[in-house]
Structure 1
Amino acid sequence: MIELTLALGIGFLVGSGIWLLQRPRTYQVIVGLSLISYGVNLFIFSMSRLRSNVPPVVSSGAINPADYADPLPQALVLTAIVIGFATTALFLVVLLVSRGLTGSDHVDGREPN
């Protein structure tokens, strides 16, 4: 049941993000990109075969991969969160400058007729 809820949550985030990307206002496009990145981060995190109370680093000796947690997906998601935050901040600055120069917050810079 939790797998279905997780899959629906990822699908809802990505679907809402794609829908917002097709909107004419730049703020909606930025929110859409953020929702897609959240959905992708959740997908990567869910594919990592999460385990609790196991060490993340392999010790010397006989190695059984089932006894260890995989730290790579967690590191990738953390890096993606930081990069996504910086990209969103940059997009917001570009949005404010574009709105100040054109007087509109439409993606193409002009109001529809």
Structure 2
Amino acid sequence: MKALLGALAKEGMLSIVVLIVLVALTWMGGEYLEWDVKLRVLIIIGLLAVFLIMYVAQKVLAVRRAMTIENQLRAQAQMHVQSTIPDKQPEIQALEQQFQEALAALKN
């Protein structure tokens, strides 16, 4: 049971399961309620469209939050570089360069 819950808790998996259940309920429930096939198909297309819009919006927001955090870290690092003793600035700049390279490697 824990393995099943763990698998469902993974990113997006639970929402896909909910979408499948809603599509199945729409199809079978629509048949029970004697809805026209075209109406059921339109409802299912609507459900898929809402799911897709929500998925894209979540991804866009995640990227924006990541960029905000990255920019804040860079600004904070820049403040620390400026406030260091002039003797240590080349060393700090070398560390900053390594940090930038590490960030670039993580992004790829």
TM-score, length-scaled by structure 1: 0.42
Larger radius of gyration between Structure 1 and Structure 2 = 2
Report which of the two has the higher share of helix: 2
Quick one: higher RCO (CA 8 Å, sep 6+), 1 or 2? 1
